[in-house]
């Protein structure tokens, strides 16, 4: 018995050294991300124009579709047009004609990221009767760096533009460890597909993290975004505190 204890005591220091070395060699941040089922990249998709366009003039309109009779449509929100999406969501409405998102991507402190592509998939969706509601705004157009997406069920267009409208290629960019980047995503339904009343769409960001391909899905909390096509439902404009047909 004493011989066995002697051998154990002699072997113990190398065993401890081995275990500590193995533990120290583990990539703990990545290990715990996998245990907690976290993505290899941090990202956030902002949908609220009140945040996206905070502290800017009331120069951007946000048309919204609502499946209600004209007499059942409540008054428009009292402040800026940026309130229209949240107002319409309370009426089970959808964005119409165009919509804005702000995408933020952040690399973990132990990982570099290459953002290599943005892919958008769209399919048509049926739409009940109702109205596209517009709170008109005035002022100049607003220019900023953005990705412009024109939806199509057969060939969606994705263009990267800088202020002034110049197209820049490629979309790809790199994030160093701990670095963040934002891009403005403007999605449009231009009315070219006459048989499409509305679109369901999602986007995918293709990334390279370390030496592996990763994907980030851009969607509406696990569901597709819905965008109503142009010219498919009559419009009403909020003019002089009432809903009226748009001026000719």
Which is higher by pLDDT, 68 or 29? 68
**Residues forming a β-bridge with 106:** 42, 180
pLDDT of residue 41: 83
Which is higher by pLDDT, 144 or 173? 173
Split at pLDDT 50, 70, 90, the class of 37 is very low
Q: What is the pLDDT of residues 118-128, one digit of tens each?
A: 999 999 999 99
pTM: 0.81
pLDDT > 70 in the chain, percent:
81
Q: What is the pLDDT of residues 62-101, one digit of tens each?
A: 999 999 999 999 999 988 999 999 999 999 999 999 999 9
In the chain, where are the structural domains located? 1-38, 40-244
């Amino acid at each position: 018995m004493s011989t066995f204890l002697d051998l154990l005591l002699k072997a113990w220091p190398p065993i401890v050294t081995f275990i500590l070395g193995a533990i120290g060699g583990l990539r703990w941040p990545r290990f715990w991300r996998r245990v907690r089922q976290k993505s290899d990249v941090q990202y956030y998709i902002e949908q609220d124009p009140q945040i996206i366009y905070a502290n800017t003039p009331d120069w951007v309109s946000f048309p919204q579709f609502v499946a209600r009779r004209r007499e059942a449509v409540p008054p428009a929100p009292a402040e800026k047009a940026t309130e229209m999406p949240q107002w319409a969501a309370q009426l089970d409405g959808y964005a119409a004609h165009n919509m804005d998102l702000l995408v933020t991507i952040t690399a973990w402190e132990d990982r570099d990221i290459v953002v290599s592509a943005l892919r958008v998939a769209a399919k048509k969706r049926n739409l009940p009767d109702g109205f596209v509601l517009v709170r008109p705004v005035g002022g100049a157009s607003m220019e900023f760096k953005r990705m412009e997406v024109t939806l199509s069920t057969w060939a969606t267009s994705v263009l990267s533009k800088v202020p002034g409208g110049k197209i820049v290629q490629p979309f790809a960019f790199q994030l160093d460890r701990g670095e963040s980047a934002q891009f403005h995503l403007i999605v449009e339904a231009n009315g070219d597909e006459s048989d499409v009343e509305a679109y369901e769409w999602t986007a995918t960001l293709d990334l390279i993290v370390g030496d592996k391909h990763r994907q980030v899905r851009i969607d509406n909390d696990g569901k597709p975004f819905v965008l109503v096509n142009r010219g498919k439902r009559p419009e009403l404009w909020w003019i002089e505190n009432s809903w009226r047909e748009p001026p000719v």
